[in-house]
Structure 1
Amino acid sequence: MPHGLRTAELARAAGYSDQQVRDLERLGVIPPAARSANGYRSYTGAHLVALRAYRALARAIGPVAARGALAELRTRPIAEAAALVDELHAGLARERERVLAARGGLAAIGSADASAAGAGGAMSITELASALDVRSSTLRYWETEGLLHPDRVGSVAARSYSAAQILVARVVAALREGGAGIPAIRSVVATLGEESGVAAAERSLDARLDALAERSVMLLRASGALAELLDGADQAW
């Protein structure tokens, strides 16, 4: 591996600007560079491997998540680092499962057969939050925004989500996870009882599935760069 790379040389080889290299070093994506007597940074080929791995991973899971992952990957024992990479793939699979669950329930929204669509009966706020992998406070926020309308049961008026509301919540969660804003989701939810509304939601969820497929492919491509990073994890920087 090359040694003694200046900031500009490393940036050019990795496809970044000089400032981006310095920022990624500051954020812990790559370890601190050695400093010469006159204060200039000096990088190695291992830094280049880390930057290329970050670039590939950022395309798959986003730059913020990639920064955290790289900072963890390069400092953990090899077994833990490999497990973290496995979890990245599993995370995408869980997202896909949630979108598919929402997609599968759309036809039942607003129908008498909603409970037969796999929603599993009523859920408490804790149960629904767990099923959707969100916080209970998120469900309460969606309620204040008019996206969900849970029943209130018992002397403490605890929230209870019917089968139909669970399906709506699945759609909301899938669209939010894909980056849709509250106003856009409110428009979708408002028309879910209509054929045109269901069709619009189906298109949105199908687009989400396409985006997840693309991210999965990008993560597979990133795996090569991550493997190279882990192969050199026991080498001195």
Structure 2
Amino acid sequence: MRTSKLAEVSGYSVQQIRQLESLRVIPAATRLPNGYRCFSSLHLSALLAYRELASAVGPVLARDVMSKVQHLPLIESAALISGLGYSLEEERRQVVAAKTALTSIRKETETEIAVAERGSSARESMTITELSQALGVPPSTLRFWEKEGLVSPDRVEARSQTARVYRATAIRDARITAALRAGGYRIPEVVEAIGALHDLGDASRSLAALDERLEAVARRTLALFRAGSVLADLVDLGHR
């Protein structure tokens, strides 16, 4: 088919098709004796796959992947494609971990949540003794959590000694850790949950926002699957 026909059936403009061909996102068109481009159903599939892949991983990475899988060795092409699914699964796991952490402190009273997430006007920080008493764990447990990277108290000079001071974020992290540990979660799982909350930032404070993020990841994963069969065809074409 001619470029204009491919544009019509694919939804891309003629200029976009020429640009994607020059970037090697789609295979090079066959040239007719008169110099006109001639495209096949494979080119149409590649364009549609690129659209799905761009929805899954973003246009920049999608262009890079579409170009590379046609020219890399078979093993590297397959690894590149499988890595996309792995990255999406890691993102999903991060959001689930953050949701688990947030849910754990939502089980507490509203007053405790306010102290954990924002601090109260009366108590914006706590000493290790105060926090250990509030959580019902010994100070040695808090020191262990700090060593594992779960809680990060500030250090201040007091009476020629360095003392730990737990501010709002550290208090929240300690409460999350205590709740998850009480629920049977292992230290590596708690580390993942705390890290996810930090990485996701303010959005992690809303369970609704996390649910929306999970749905977005699910939709992107399905888009990746839809692009997958065409990517496999492109890899096969490059190794015939």
Q: Superposition pairs for residues 12-23 of structure 1, below 5 Å?
A: 12-23=8-19
Distance change >3 Å, CA 233–CA 123, structure 1 → 2: same
Aligned match of 2:70 = 74
* Kept after mapping to 1: 8 A contact 2:52/2:227: yes
Q: In the superposition, relative to structure 1, how do residues 202 and 79 fare at CA in structure 2: closer, same or farther (>3 Å)?
A: same
Residue 49 and residue 214 in structure 1: after superposition, are their counterparts in 2 closer, same or farther (change >3 A)? closer
Q: Deviations over 1:192-235 (max 9, x none)?
A: xxxxxx8x521111111111112222222222222232332335
* Distance in 1 of aligned mates of 2:65 and 2:200: 23
Q: Distance in 2 between matches of 1:88 and 1:211?
A: 15
Evaluate the alpha carbon distance shift between residue 221 and residue 162 of structure 1 in structure 2; reply closer, same or farther with a 3 A threshold. Answer: same
Q: What residue number does 2:208 align with?
A: 203
Question: Deviation at 1:122?
Answer: 5.0
Amino acid at match of 2:215: D
Residues 1:49 and 2:45 aligned together: yes
CA contact (8 A) 1:123 1:162 kept: no
What count of residue pairs does the alignment treat as equivalent?
179
Partner Cα distance (1:92, 1:120) in 2: 29
Q: Is the 8 A contact 2:49 2:226 kept in 1?
A: no
Counterpart in 2 of 1:121? 146
2:80 is aligned to: 84
Q: Who wins on radius of gyration, i.e. which is larger?
A: 2
* Residues 52 and 226 in structure 2, CA contact (< 8 A), matched pair in contact too: yes
**Match of residue 231 from structure 2:** 226
**Relative to 1, partners in 2 of residues 1:20 and 1:203: Cα closer, same or farther, differing over 3 Å?**
same
Unaligned runs of 5+ in 2: 106-112, 118-130, 157-168, 175-190
Equivalent residues in 2 for 1:44-193, closer than 5 Å: 44-106=40-102, 107-108=104-105, 110=116, 121-122=146-147, 151=154, 162=170, 164=173, 170-174=196-200, 185=202
Q: Against the structure 1 CA distance between its residues 152 and 219, is the aligned structure 2 distance closer, same or farther, given a 3 Å change threshold?
A: farther
Unpaired segments of 5 or more residues in structure 1?
Answer: 129-148, 154-160, 176-184, 189-197
SS of residue matched to 2:90: helix
Provide, for residues 160-184 of structure 1, a one-character-per-residue CA deviation record: whole Å limited to 9, x for no partner. x958298676335235xxxxxxxxx
CA distance 1:8–1:214, change in 2 (3 Å) = same
Aligned to 1:75, the other structure's residue is in SS state coil
Query: 1:13, CA displacement in angstroms?
Result: 3.4
Residues 107-152 of structure 1, C-alpha deviation per residue, up to 9 Å, x if partnerless?
3472855x99xx953567xxx9xxxxxxxxxxxxxxxxxxxx9746
In structure 1, how many angstroms separate the alpha carbons of the residues matched to 2:75 and 2:233?
15
Aligned-residue RMSD, C-alpha: 3.7
TM-score normalised according to structure 2 size: 0.59
Secondary structure of 1:29's aligned partner: coil
Whole-angstrom distance in 2 between the partners of 1:28 and 1:79:
20
Are the counterparts in 2 of residues 49 and 229 from structure 1 also a CA contact under 8 Å?
no
Distance 1:102 1:6, change over 3 A: same
Question: Could you tell me whether the CA contact under 8 Å between 1:46 and 1:232 is conserved in 2?
Answer: no
- Give percent identity, aligned residues only: 40
Partner SS state of residue 121, structure 1: helix
